[in-house]
Amino acid sequence: MLFDVKPLPGDPILALMTAYRADDAPNKVDLGVGVYQDNAGHTPVLRAVAAAEARVLAAQTTKAYVGIAGAASFNTAMTQMVFGTSHQALADERLVTVQSAGGSGGLRVAAELIKSLRPDSAVWVTTPTWPNHVPLLTAAGVQIKQYRYYDPASGLLDRDGMLEDLANIPSGDVVLLHGCCHNPTGADLDAQLWSTVATLCRDKNLLPFVDTAYQGFGESLDGDAQGIRTLADIVPEMITVTSCSKNFGLYRERVGALTLLTRTADHAVAAKSHLLKIVRSMISMPPDHGARVVAEILNDTGLSADWRAELTEMRERMHAQRRGFVDALKPHGLDARFGFVADQVGMFSLLGISSEQIKQLRDDWHVYIVGSSRINVAGLTAGKVDYIAEALAAVLSG
Ligand code: LMR
């Protein structure tokens, strides 16, 4: 079988991470993979996570299996984190959650569910979207199509194009939305647009499928869930996937949750049995440790308060760095061109520069950004932002 295999190209974002690590230039700058970093370029273990891990390990007496759905304490806490504690769908038992291996694991299980229950439905993704959405979803056999979302000329959402495309999607298809902090553009829907999109999905019989990988990195923990909560007020059914990689800093532990909103409590029970069958056939059961840590935090008032405080610090730091980047571009006369970066939220923005300029940034200046011209704003640290601005000005003038 393996005697004539040819090597495949690596994943573009992860290959960039490897190239950055291999670069020994002292002035190198990592604006690539979507991982939070502090001023020293370090991705810390959050305080509440370290405390919760100690508690979990001290209390743990067995490593026996938990079950296909994962820990109930985690699933309930995550449902409440995403939908709020008082959403009617919760009281009506129309929400069912299973633990997933990161957000990606949830996306893949959801794609398998779509393929098995609605085999002819396409999944519509934003143009552009997180590059890994496409391989993750197509691996399950679902067809991917694209709708307009972003206007590169203005750095803003292409609101009219989006609504026009959504209105033309055939009944029964699935619409993938980013819950907040759109990856890679940093351009999000406002409250009014969420409501318009929700109504459109309900009226046109489209199934919303919301990927939220950055809850708490945009506006606030609850503010970033408003889109999902608005949808849940209006549509009868939807799929949501939430990652704990970024907001809990649990990247390598692979923690996430997949929630289905169904028409009735009975449908939720039936839908859960389908999820369990899929998870069992793919990975048998999810890993426990990271989810247990999240449950420990969310179910403890003190840990939860400390986690929220640290999440706020991370968010506010990224907001400040967005502004610092635009300020650093002023001496180069580039602040107006890139002013949109300061107005966007979350971890990413698209600079809208050419592939040649991206390559020059990397080859000549050791500044690593993703090939779509996406930057990770967590890397725009005070110590490096002037150098980054100088590098950008140089490649743009060259
Ligand atoms: C990113 O977009 O950089 C992150 O979500 C990490 C990844 O796996 O691509």
* Helix-strand-coil split of the chain, %, nearest 5: 50, 15, 40
Write down the catalytic residue from 51, 110, 124, 130.
Answer: 130
Which sign does the torsion angle of CA 191, 76, 297, 101 carry?
A: negative
Active-site residue flag, 359: no
Write down the catalytic residue from 211, 224, 288, 306.
Answer: 211
Active-site residue flag, 211: yes
Which residues of 249-385 form beta strands (DSSP E)?
256-261, 348-350, 367-369, 374-376
What is the spatial distance between Cα 221 and Cα 297, in angstroms, rounded to a whole number?
14
Residue 387 has a pLDDT of 98
State the DSSP H helix or E strand holding residue 143, giving kind and residue range, or none if neither.
strand 143-148
Query: Which amino acids bring their CB within 6 angstroms of ligand 1?
Result: 13, 33-34, 130, 132, 183
What are residue 84's DSSP bridge partners? none
Residue 10 has a pLDDT of 86
Active-site residue flag, 246: yes
Name the residue at shortest CA distance from atom 4 of ligand 1: 34
Walking along the chain (398 residues) 10 residues at a time, the average pLDDT comes out as 91 91 95 93 96 98 97 98 96 97 98 97 98 96 98 93 98 98 96 98 98 98 98 98 98 98 98 98 97 98 98 97 98 96 95 96 96 96 96 95
Residue 398 has a pLDDT of 79
Give distance in angstroms: CA of 350 to centre of ligand 1. Answer: 14
What is the spatial distance between Cα 330 and Cα 386, in angstroms, rounded to a whole number?
10
Active-site residue flag, 124: no
Q: Which two tokens stand for residue 173?
A: 């298809």
What is the spatial distance between Cα 396 and Cα 309, in angstroms, rounded to a whole number?
39
Residue 78 has a pLDDT of 98
Name the residue at shortest CA distance from atom 2 of ligand 1: 34
